[in-house]
């Protein structure tokens, strides 16, 4: 994984972890590495993040705990270049991340893709709380009907309860803030590919902080310890 890399894996993973976890720019990291006697360009750090953030996310997902049975779903705006795009997100009643999806558009098709992915990877919840955006309601009802056609132990699935209210989704709006605070120093993304990879990495870090994974090692693990378990460097 780190073959032919000029820098040690510990330095690479340190930069990846710090960038995804804290409100730092690439140039901030470049300066911090220089203070430790490591001369590395910010563009090199960016390449490390694009290369290794998906590796961390994939390794983490193998250990994820099941989500709760009551979900809160909404999307938030993400700027890519000069365009506003969208990050669909779902959290459960414990505040833990259920699923997320980066999308260029906010419409029924995007919402259908999000709900299909979320239900496919996390199973069916008892209820989902939505905002008043009608496209999300239409997409969820359609996906729910498709899933209810499948049988489990000879019985049909119960329909998902849908809740809507002005203040019911405040919980996920608060959850959006942690993502927005992290991407603010980045001053926007340059491409959809970079945005998708980095947002995936940031969401993974958030799940690590909420201890949403089961590891063979018992007890709580900090971010550094989780990185070391997910991507051994020795």
- For the cut 60, the answer to whether the pLDDT of residue 153 exceeds it is no
pLDDT (0 to 100) of residue 195: 94
Share of the chain above pLDDT 70, in %: 94
State the helix-helix crossing angle for 9-21 and 26-35, rounded to 10 degrees.
140
- Residue 72, strand partner residues: 91, 129
Assigned token pair, 105: 């558009």
Name the pTM for this structure.
0.90
- pLDDT 10s digits, 92-133: 999 999 999 999 999 999 999 999 999 989 989 999 999 888
Residues of the chain with CATH 3.30.420.10: 70-190
- pLDDT 10s digits, 49-93: 999 999 999 999 999 999 999 999 999 999 998 899 999 999 999
Correct CATH for 70-190 of 3.40.50.300, 3.20.20.70, 3.30.420.10, 3.90.1150.10: 3.30.420.10
Unique residue bearing structure tokens 């893709």: 113
């Amino acid at each position: 994984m780190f073959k032919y890399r000029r820098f040690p894996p510990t330095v690479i993973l340190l930069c990846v972890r710090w960038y995804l976890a804290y409100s730092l720019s690439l140039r901030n990291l470049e300066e911090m590495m220089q203070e430790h006697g490591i001369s590395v360009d910010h563009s090199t750090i960016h390449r490390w993040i694009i290369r290794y953030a998906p590796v961390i996310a994939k390794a983490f997902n193998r250990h994820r705990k099941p989500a709760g049975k009551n979900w809160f779903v909404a999307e938030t705006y993400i700027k890519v270049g000069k365009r506003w795009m969208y990050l669909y997100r779902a959290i459960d009643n414990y505040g833990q991340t259920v699923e997320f999806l980066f999308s260029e558009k906010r419409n029924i098709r995007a919402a259908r893709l999000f709900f299909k992915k979320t239900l496919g990877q996390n199973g069916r919840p008892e209820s989902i709380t939505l905002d008043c955006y009608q496209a999300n309601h239409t997409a969820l009802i359609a996906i729910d009907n498709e899933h209810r056609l499948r049988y489990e132990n000879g019985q049909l699935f119960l329909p998902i309860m849908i809740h809507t209210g002005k203040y019911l989704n405040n919980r996920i709006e608060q959850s959006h803030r942690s993502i927005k605070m992290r991407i603010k120093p980045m001053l926007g993304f340059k491409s959809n590919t970079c945005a998708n990879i980095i947002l995936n990495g940031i969401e993974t870090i958030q799940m690590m902080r909420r201890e949403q994974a089961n590891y063979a090692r018992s007890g709580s693990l900090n971010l550094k310890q989780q990185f070391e378990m997910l991507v051994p460097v020795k």
